[in-house]
């Protein structure tokens, strides 16, 4: 296995491929042994051979993609945890992708627990700050498509009552202004969210925090502080959109 891995690494270092003799010499293998391993790796899809040269195959590329994805997720989790500790509140990261709200990461703690998802998060985007922030980044057609599939409905006494009122609210939101909701999704919880501009247009993205409603006085200042801190590492979250 170790010898096969060394051959894979040698091929990965050669963008334009390499012949068996060169690979055998680089990893210090006898040519018959290298040929046997290369044939096996090619048969299993980890390598492919073209005109006597070996290149990485689809199986190896899938492994590489999986490792990169895990690294991006780890970077995202570390960033969210850092901001959680700095702000003293749960931090959420979500995107709007393929017509749905996707919560990609949450960093909370026993002292500052995340809001409980008591109603399906994807279906109640009109009620929580993350959903409102994501929907505000969509064009009119995409918004209406979403609301046709997930209609506005009251889930607490504070939730917006109808689609027309909700759409007017979205239209009034200022670009890069935090979206704030007070107990619209969950009683006893307030939330603030803002768009992540580093998404580069590939997807609508949002970062948010939540707090108990008795701390509502510190919600907006904390959100603005997080927004200011996030700029230096926003690329971490932008990469995570492909997770």
**Can you give the CATH number for the domain in which 26 is found?**
1.10.10.10
- The answer to whether position 62 is within a domain reads no
Residue position matching structure tokens 């907006």: 220
pLDDT digits (tens, 9 = 90+) for 132-144: 999 999 999 999 9
Average pLDDT of the chain, as a whole number: 86
Q: How far apart (Å, rounded) are the C-alpha atoms in residues 211 and 193?
A: 12
**Predicted local confidence at residue 45, as pLDDT:** 87
pLDDT, mean of residues 155-178: 92
Give the pairing of strands 179-182 and 47-50. unpaired
65, 59 Cβ separation under 8 angstroms: no
Instruction: Return the closest-CA partner of residue 38 out of 10, 1, 7.
Output: 7
- CATH number for the domain harbouring residue 115: 3.30.450.40
Confidence of residue 220 (pLDDT cuts 50, 70, 90): very high
61 in a domain, yes or no? no
Residue 158 burial (CB count, 10 A): 15
SS3 category, 92:
strand
Residues 45, 73, single domain; the answer is no
Look at residue 239 in the predicted model and tell me its pLDDT.
46
167 assigned to some structural domain: yes
Question: Tell me, what's the pLDDT at 65?
Answer: 55
Q: Residue 45: which domain range?
A: 2-56
Q: How confident is the model at residue 2 (pLDDT cuts 50, 70, 90)?
A: confident
Cα–Cα distance for residue pair 235/144, rounded to 1 Å? 30
Q: Hey, what's the torsion of the CAs at 47, 50, 53, 56, to 10 degrees?
A: -30
Give the pLDDT confidence of 43-99 residue by residue, as tens digits.
888 888 988 899 988 887 776 555 555 666 677 888 899 999 999 999 999 999 889
**Number of structural domains the chain divides into:** 2
Reported pTM: 0.69
195-209 pLDDT, tens digit per residue, is 986 444 557 899 999
pLDDT value of position 112: 93
Distance of CA 94 to the CA centre of its chain: 7
Asked if 72 and 52 sit in the same domain, the reply is no
Q: Are residues 162 and 225 in the same domain?
A: yes
Q: Are residues 124 and 186 in the same domain?
A: yes
């Amino acid at each position: 296995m170790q010898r096969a891995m060394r051959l894979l690494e040698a091929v990965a270092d050669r963008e334009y491929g390499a012949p068996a003799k060169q690979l055998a010499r680089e990893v210090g293998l006898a040519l018959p042994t290298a040929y046997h391993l290369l044939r096996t790796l090619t048969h299993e899809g980890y390598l492919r051979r073209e005109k006597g040269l070996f290149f990485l195959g689809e199986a190896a590329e899938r492994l590489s993609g999986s490792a990169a994805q895990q690294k991006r997720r780890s970077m995202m989790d570390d960033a969210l945890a850092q901001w959680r500790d700095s702000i003293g509140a749960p931090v959420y990261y979500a995107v709007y992708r393929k017509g749905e709200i996707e919560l990609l990461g949450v960093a909370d703690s026993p002292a500052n627990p995340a809001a409980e998802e008591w109603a399906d998060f994807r279906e109640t985007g009109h009620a929580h700050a993350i959903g409102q922030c994501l929907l505000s980044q969509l064009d009119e057609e995409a918004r209406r498509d979403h609301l046709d599939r997930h209609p506005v409905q009251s889930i607490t006494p504070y939730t917006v009552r109808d689609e027309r009122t909700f759409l007017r609210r979205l239209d009034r939101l200022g670009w890069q202004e935090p979206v704030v909701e007070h107990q619209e999704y969950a009683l006893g919880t307030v939330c603030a969210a803002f768009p992540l501009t580093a998404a580069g247009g590939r997807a609508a993205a949002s970062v948010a925090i939540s707090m108990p409603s008795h701390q509502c006085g510190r919600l907006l200042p904390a959100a603005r502080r997080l927004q200011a801190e996030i700029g230096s590492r926003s690329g971490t979250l932008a990469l995570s959109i492909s997770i």
